[in-house]
Amino acid sequence: MRRWTRAHARHLAQVLRRGRSPAATVYESLGADFFLSPAPGWLNLGLWSGPGGEPEAPVAARRLADTLAARLPRGGLVVDVGNGLGAQDPVIAERARPRLLLALNVTESQLRVGRRCLAEAGALPVVGDATRLPLADGCADGVISVEAAFHFPSRTAFFREVHRVLRPGGVLVASDFTAQGRPHTPAEWVAAMSSVRFWGLRPDVLVDDDTMAAQLRAAGLADVTVTRCGQRVVDPFLVFARQRLAVLRDVPRLQRWAARAMVGQWALLRRRGLMDYVLVHAVKPAD
Ligand SMILES: C[S@@+](CC[C@H](N)C(=O)[O-])C[C@H]1O[C@@H](n2cnc3c(N)ncnc32)[C@H](O)[C@@H]1O
């Protein structure tokens, strides 16, 4: 039976008052074996080809990372920003065959948990913040960020950092959430704001796909594509999450209840067209 921990208590306190490192607080609380993780080591919603459900979950989580990594330049210096528990790093290494892979994460405990995956990928762990990349100007050939930028203190500051560290012709690939419009009804407000509070987000991360594309261009990036794909990500994940929650027994009741509430609220936001998911590709133009 999983138990309540201090990390859970810190997370609950942060729902009321956002702390100084909100993402690290959230991921320390979810731990290395989060009960809605699609497969051990993965913390994304997956890119699905079917309707959702347990059998495809590990494949979908891997497919999301692989689909993004396939667009990275081969053989260069690649920075994986917000690498989670590291399961994606062997996938990125296999696809992009980087000369050097840096796995950057603000949650130090995740880098420790993921050290086997990082060793398998030949990746170097770096504790750091996406909005202050500890890298020289123009040194990177590719930046990949799988479902992490919604957590960053500022998405626009991250895009500026990506532009700074990429060499001309270097590539950014990412996946992220978008908010396609403002909530209007009380139920929509509750759904949007409880997600913002639970995940420790700043309300200004809620931007739509066009705004995100404009932010990428404003940071100096070109050939920008922001492709909506919530039907292949969020909707099947919700099917999977409901199935998983129906059979979970070894998780405290309040945690199961909170997870069910979140699934219901995301389903509402999807039905009302307010929540989507995007795949991002952009290039730093030649000088
Ligand atoms: C939803 S998880 C995704 C993890 C992983 N990419 C995956 O697909 O399994 C978000 C990740 O972003 C990291 N993160 C959040 N804020 C960050 C920041 N400011 N700088 C670097 N990493 C950050 C978290 O620690 C976590 O590992």
Query: Structural domain of residue 68, as residue ranges?
Result: 31-283
Token pair for 147: 């479902």
Ligand 1 centroid, distance to 287 Cα (angstroms) = 31
Any idea what the Cα angle at residue 187 is, between residues 185 and 193, rounded to 5°?
A: 100
Cα separations (Å) of 240 from 51, 60, 195? 9, 11, 19
Ligand 1 centroid, distance to 9 Cα (angstroms) = 20
* Ligand 1 atom closest to the CA of 87, numbered from 1: 9
Mutate to test the pocket of ligand 1, among 29, 101, 151, 165 (most ligand atoms within 8 A of CB): 151
How would you label 138-171 residue by residue, b for 16+ Cβ within 10 Å and e otherwise?
ebbbbbbbbbbbbbbbbbbebbbbbbbbbbeebb
46-55 pLDDT per residue, tens = 999 999 999 9
Q: Is 152 in contact with 159 (CB distance < 8 Å)?
A: no
Token pair for 43: 């913390």
Around ligand 1, the residues with Cβ closer than 6 Å are 23, 27, 42-44, 81-84, 88, 104-107, 110, 129-130, 146-148, 151-153
Q: State the pLDDT confidence band at 214, using cuts at 50, 70 and 90.
A: very high
Decide: helix, strand or coil at residue 58: helix
Lowest mean pLDDT among 11-25, 33-47, 76-90, 180-194: 11-25
Ligand 1 centroid, distance to 106 Cα (angstroms) = 7
* Ligand 1 atom closest to the CA of 80, numbered from 1: 6
Token pair for 42: 């993965």
Residue 12 lies in a domain: no
pLDDT over 90 (residue 150): yes
Q: Round the average pLDDT of the chain to a whole number and report it.
A: 93
How many independent structural domains does the chain possess? Answer: 1
pTM of the predicted model as reported, rounded to 2 decimal places: 0.94
Q: State the pLDDT confidence band at 152, using cuts at 50, 70 and 90.
A: very high
- CATH number reported for the structural domain that contains residue 257 in this entry: 3.40.50.150
**Residue 2: per-residue pLDDT:** 67
**Residue 111: per-residue pLDDT:** 97
